[in-house]
Amino acid sequence: MFDKILIANRGEIAIRVMRTCREMGIATVAVYSDFDREARHVLYADEAMHLGGNTPAESYLNTDRIIAAARETGAQAIHPGYGFLAENSGFARAVREAGITWIGPPPEAIDQMGDKVSSRKVAIAAAVDPVPGTTEACMSSDEVIAFGTENGWPVAIKAAYGGGGKGLRVAHSEEEAAEALQGAQREGEAYFGNGECYLERYLERPHHVEVQILADAHGNAVWIGERDCSAQRRHQKLVEETPSPVVDDDLRTRMGDAAVRLAKHVGYQNAGTIECLVQDGEFWFLEMNTRLQVEHCVTEMTAGIDLVSAQIRIAAGEALWFDQDHLDRRGHAIEMRINAEDPVLFLPSPGFITRYREPGGFGVRVDSGYGEGFEVSQFYDNLVAKLIVWGENREEATARALRALGEFEITGIRTNIPAQKLILGHDDFAAGVVTTKWVENHLDLSSLAEIDVPEAESVSGEEPEPRIERTVTVEVGARRYEVKVFVPESQAGQAAAPAVRKKKKRGLRDSAAGADSGSVTTPMQGTVLKILAEVGDQVTAGEAVVVLEAMKMENNINATRDGIVKEIRVAEGDTVGAGEILLVIE
């Protein structure tokens, strides 16, 4: 077994992995960006290595620095968490070439599954049915029309390297074929550097159900259970649960067996997830996620298996220590993602957390990378905590979820807790009829429209003073070291600037506040995907003028007033910071 593991991630997942390491007697190495110098995952770890910068490219995607950090600290293995480098086969290979163990699947399996056209072919070869569609690249809108005519409309057009809803377009008729294909190709090109697309019959009322598998290096594979992740908005999952309310024992076994067949067929190792669509009691393979997922916790709670521990043991070469017949699931688990975001607009709400009180009690688990006095940055995703509850059955788990949501106190930033209460308390959720369209089409958020940023009555989590860098000389034994220290400005001596408290960053409503302002600004850092207006265009307040990609989502930025577009200050592809002026309306 390993003595030391480096965790190439931040936030709740880094701590999640470190907790298991500690239980296993394995030392942990955290990595961090400038912003995360005092983040919770850094404080939790046994050692920490600075990566540099704040952008993901400078820090958590900085493969050379991460491998160098593992070498320097003597870590024998790297766990990538989810996101960032978790499904980067090039990184997995580089880790291996550096003589370090990669706690994840073989890079070849990542590649086969990363290309969705190839993963559909693999599924067919493993006798697992994908959603009916094509296994060759679709080059022209004539092919879309031919497919729709033969198989019926609507047709889903998907980028081969897409994911998370990126590069997915739906054509409802011949007339929409050309534009939908272009849109999917453009997004595939923009996000994944490849515009290749394929076609599928579009299912209109699917549940998103995925199967967790574990496979070892000796040819053994098992399925652990399914998760229903249908409650989502704009491809951001909000609630995940197991078992799925639309999966019975027979369907569960068929899905599980299919997942194991597929895993064995590609020589998969470690933890993986087979994503399916389920509609009217039937399932189809959609894609495979070759990583540990955010929602793995609900599987852990019902199966009684620590999936991270399993990942580490498998990576260390252990053969699976149980077989399918010994796996058991008990009760019901629900996970709610608690995000720093406006509960109505679903836009990021970064800032300082002034009060933070987690719920507790029987059957309640909270995985978080934040706490009182910590800051949620615009640079990283806005997941503040995962609230996971277990109950004897779905009804008990739902009641516990609502009780725990009621106890959760977070102030200083907006969170989606009010929206989560509406979802978990809804009759449709109780009835198990929440499909992938439900939050967008059926959830009424109007009762939340007036809720402002929650503020603590007595602020105990003071906003930390800005810190500045100083170099000091220390001697360790006889050896001289130059050491950088980061001290509060007020303690940094005469040379320091007077301590000035940073103003709190505000969410969208505040940045759009100057009501008749003609300047359209960005509420957050992001990339300009598309500019929907030209200089001279007449626009009306509320009309989308720019599409901004931020937090892995496309966000429409709207005109702040009626008028004529006088000036456009950015171009498609530009990276923009929070508060930057995009265009001016007169």
What does the binding site for ligand MV4 look like in residue numbers (CB under 6 A)?
131, 156, 163, 165, 168, 200-203, 206, 208, 232, 235, 277, 286-287, 436
Residue 391 has φ and ψ, to the nearest 5°, of -145, 160
- In sequence order, the 6+-apart residues with CB closer than 8 A to the CB of 126 are 258, 261, 262, 264, 265, 266
> Minimum CB separation from ligand MV4 for residue 131, in Å?
4
**Cβ closest to ligand MV4, residue 78 vs residue 156:** 156
> Minimum CB separation from ligand MV4 for residue 165, in Å?
4
Closest CA to 36 of 16, 22, 56: 56
> Minimum CB separation from ligand MV4 for residue 163, in Å?
6
Residue 140 CA to residue 223 CA, distance in Å, equals 39
> Minimum CB separation from ligand MV4 for residue 545, in Å?
25
Cβ contact 52:34 at 8 Å = yes
Helix axis angle for 63-73 and 89-97, nearest 10°, is: 30
> Minimum CB separation from ligand MV4 for residue 527, in Å?
20
Tally the C-alpha atoms within 13 A of residue 352's C-alpha that lie toward its C-beta: 16
> Minimum CB separation from ligand MV4 for residue 232, in Å?
5
**Cβ closest to ligand MV4, residue 286 vs residue 424:** 286
Query: Looking at this protein, which amino acid is placed at residue 105?
Result: P
Count of C-beta atoms within a 10 Å radius of residue 474:
10
Q: Which residues of 267-296 are buried (b: 16+ CB within 10 A; e: fewer)?
A: ebbbbbbbbbbbeeeebbbbbbbbbbbbbb
> Minimum CB separation from ligand MV4 for residue 543, in Å?
25
**Cβ closest to ligand MV4, residue 21 vs residue 238:** 238
> Minimum CB separation from ligand MV4 for residue 172, in Å?
13
**Cβ closest to ligand MV4, residue 21 vs residue 156:** 156
Tally the C-alpha atoms within 13 A of residue 510's C-alpha that lie toward its C-beta: 17
**Cβ closest to ligand MV4, residue 16 vs residue 208:** 208
**Cβ closest to ligand MV4, residue 91 vs residue 284:** 284
Residue 539 CA to residue 309 CA, distance in Å, equals 55
**Cβ closest to ligand MV4, residue 138 vs residue 168:** 168
Tally the C-alpha atoms within 13 A of residue 381's C-alpha that lie toward its C-beta: 22
**Cβ closest to ligand MV4, residue 269 vs residue 273:** 273
Tokens of 166: 């990126």
> Minimum CB separation from ligand MV4 for residue 287, in Å?
6
Residue 558 has φ and ψ, to the nearest 5°, of -100, 155
> Minimum CB separation from ligand MV4 for residue 164, in Å?
6
Residue 236 CA to residue 165 CA, distance in Å, equals 9
**Cβ closest to ligand MV4, residue 187 vs residue 200:** 200
> Minimum CB separation from ligand MV4 for residue 167, in Å?
9
Integer Rg of the chain from CA: 25
Residue 63 CA to residue 151 CA, distance in Å, equals 45
**Cβ closest to ligand MV4, residue 162 vs residue 369:** 162
Q: How far is CA 471 from the centre of its chain?
A: 37
**Cβ closest to ligand MV4, residue 10 vs residue 120:** 120
Closest CA to 223 of 244, 250, 254, 246: 254
